[in-house]
Chain A
Amino acid sequence: MEKVLDARGLKCPMPIFKAKKELETLGPDDVLKVLATDKGSVLDMQGWAKTNKHVSLIKQETTSEEGGRTVYIHYLSRLA
């Protein structure tokens, strides 16, 4: 199952704060797709996954939505 967390427009620490809460509700085979507009989220998600042994950062993507705003997409899963 893939669940989407829309953290667009939110400043840090909110994207990671909400992602942690969401991950806690997911099973080990689920994927959490986090949408964020804060560019700082790119490095922060990497740092978070490095230090939290229950979080795995599967991949990161960058897209552009209508209107030109850049969206940073983070795919996370929960490690047992």
Chain B
Amino acid sequence: MEGSAEITPRELFERLVTRGESPALLDVRNADEFAAWRIEGRRPLDQLNVPYFAFIDEPEVSAARVAQAGDAWIAVCAKGDSSAFVAGILREHGTDAVNLVGGMQAWGDLHVPVRVAAAGRFELWQVDRYGKGCLSYVVLAGGQAVVVDASRHLDVYETFLRERGAALVRVLDTHVHADHLSGGAELARRAGAPYHVAAGPGFTLGKAVKPLGDGTALRLGGRGGVAIEIGLIAAPGHTPGSTCYLVDGRWLLSGDTLFVNGIGRPDLGGHVEAWGRALFHTLHQGPLSRLPDEVVILPAHFASPAELDGEGVVERRLGDLRATAPELRLPTEAAFVDAMRGAVKSPPEVYQKIIAANLASGSVTEEEASEWELGKNQCAAAVPAAPRG
């Protein structure tokens, strides 16, 4: 066989997302894991699920079955070892196969920075943790940087900033995340920068934060005449402390409050009534409701690769969301809370552990963190149909 017998997550991302290819994937995890979380591309993918133990039991039969379905494969498993074993068997049987290095774990840890906007020395970057559908942000102005919703993979942000010679001056989280561990407090500590997150009433935050009030305007930059403002907008609902950050009056880092195709679910805390009412007020009566239609939403998650635009950015004009999202068109608080109640579904059990860890001051082991973070985020409210009447 020519070339490498491996493909890295970044190389796979380039093929699936940047170039929009649809290579054949052979997922060798067990059927339950495959059903729960799999690789997605911009285009529908040919995926075959043949667990690796079928290649231990009957290598000839399994290899023949795969060869019959296609002549070139990327093998995928949980951590990249079983898929390497399977790819080797396939190659021995004359079928072209490469192994995804690090498997789904590494796929879920891949972060790809994509530039959203640049004007002079102001830049806004979206850091796409594609496999999990998690988005974080870096705002750069005049040599200073603010990071919003950092994951625990601090090297991603530290390398990015070092390459641009930018100094990290502040770290912000939009809320206490339930689906992934925040790296915000630790990133801030390592840079000697202040960290801010609001847990909201009813929660005790064990992390050292610099409290900032609703309506605060943070100034970033200044050197070389470039300075921009980041405004805080309290947006209780998805969590009681949820905060949106309005960058330069135009880009809304909306956390899990607004997504490009809907809104964040208010039921993760088990209080769908109270948090649902708060969310209705945030969306219909609070400062978010008064933002101009031209504001661009930059959320903390996406649910499907279809939400990426041609440049690979997940963004949407607020006016377009207002015109189409059924959740934003429910006219009364009662109808809204009803719809949210109807959309309640049990979150993954591990979310309680992640919330607790994100509130606490301590850290969790790498092994635990990796295990907790497996899978795609489930933070969006799934309201199935348009409102009646």
Residues of A within 8 A of B203 (CB): none
List residues of B (54-98) whose CB comes within 8 Å of A's CBs: 54-57, 77-79, 81-82, 85
Contact B33 A17, beta carbon cutoff 8 Å: no
Q: How extensive is the interface on chain A, given as a class?
A: 10 to 19
Whether the pair A47, B79 counts as a contact (CB closer than 8 A) is no
Contact A11 B53 (CB under 8 A): no
Given A11-B79, A12-B77, A12-B81, decide whether A43 and B56 contact each other with a Cβ distance below 8 A.
no
User: Could you tell me the distance between the alpha carbons of A20 and B76 in the complex, rounded to whole angstroms?
Assistant: 22
Contact B33 A48 (CB under 8 A): no
Binary contact readout B15-31 vs A (1 if CB under 8 angstroms, 0 otherwise): 00000000000000011
Q: Answer yes or no: A3 CB below 8 A from chain B CBs.
A: no
Given A11-B81, A43-B32, A47-B32, does the pair A17, B56 have CB atoms closer than 8 Å? Answer: yes
Residues of B within 8 A of A11 (CB): 79, 81
Inter-chain contact B57/A13, CB cutoff 8 Å:
no
Please report which residues of chain A, range 17-73, place their CB below 8 angstroms from some CB of chain B when the two chains form the complex.
Answer: 17, 20, 39-40, 43-44, 46-48, 51-52
Query: Counting CB contacts under 8 A, is A16 at the interface?
Result: yes
Give which listed residue, B30, B77, B81, B85, contacts A47 with CB less than 8 A.
B30
Confirm or deny: B264 has a beta carbon within 8 angstroms of a beta carbon on chain A: no
- The reply to whether the CB of B299 lies closer than 8 angstroms to some CB of chain A is no
Q: Give the A-B pair count, Cβ closer than 8 A.
A: 47
Once the chains bind, are A13 and B85 in contact (CB under 8 Å)?
A: yes
Give the residues in chain B near A12, CB-CB below 8 Å. Answer: 52, 77-79, 81-82
Report the bound CA distance from A11 to B78 in whole Å: 11
Residue of A nearest to B57 (CB): A52
Chain A residue at minimum C-beta to C-beta distance from B53: A48
User: What is the CA–CA distance of A52 and B79 in the complex, to the nearest angstrom?
Assistant: 23
B163 at the interface (CB under 8 A from A): no
A10 closest partner in B (C-beta): B81
Q: Specify which chain A residues have a CB less than 8 angstroms from the CB of B143 in the assembled complex.
A: none
Q: In this complex, what residue of B is CB-closest to A70?
A: B367
B98-121 Cβ-contact flags toward A at 8 Å (1 or 0): 000000000000000000000000
Residues of A with C-beta under 8 A to B30: 43-44, 46-47
- Contact between B81 and A20 (Cβ–Cβ < 8 Å)? no
| Chain A residues near B371 (CB-CB < 8 A) | 39
Query: In the complex, how many angstroms separate the beta carbon of A13 from the nearest chain B beta carbon?
Result: 4
- Give CA–CA (A57, B103) in the complex, Å: 27
Identify which of A16, A39, A46 contacts B56 (C-beta below 8 A). A16
Distance, CA A11 to CA B82, complexed state (A)? 8
Query: Contact between B32 and A13 (Cβ–Cβ < 8 Å)?
Result: no
CA distance A20 to B52 in the complex (A): 13
In the complex, chain A residues whose CB is within 8 Å of the CB of B33: 43
CB distance from B374 to the nearest CB of A (A): 10
Q: A13-B85, A39-B371 are in contact. Are A47 and B78 (CB under 8 A)?
A: no
Report whether A47 and B51 are in contact in the complex, using a CB–CB cutoff of 8 Å: yes
> A43-B30, A47-B31, A47-B32 given as contacts; is B53 within 8 A of A13 (CB)?
yes
Q: B57 to chain A: which residues have CB within 8 Å? A: 20, 48, 51-52
A-B contact pairs, 15 of them (CB 8 A): A11-B81, A12-B52, A12-B78, A12-B81, A13-B81, A13-B85, A17-B56, A39-B371, A40-B78, A44-B52, A46-B30, A47-B53, A48-B51, A48-B57, A51-B54
Q: A16-B56, A20-B57, A47-B31 are in contact. List 12 more A-B contacts (CB 8 A).
A: A11-B79, A12-B52, A12-B77, A13-B52, A13-B56, A13-B81, A20-B56, A44-B30, A47-B30, A47-B53, A48-B51, A52-B53
Q: Which residues in A have some Cβ–Cβ distance to B below 8 Å?
A: 11-13, 16-17, 20, 39-40, 43-44, 46-48, 51-52
Measuring CB to CB, which residues of chain B are less than 8 angstroms from any residue of chain A?
A: 30-33, 51-57, 77-79, 81-82, 85, 371
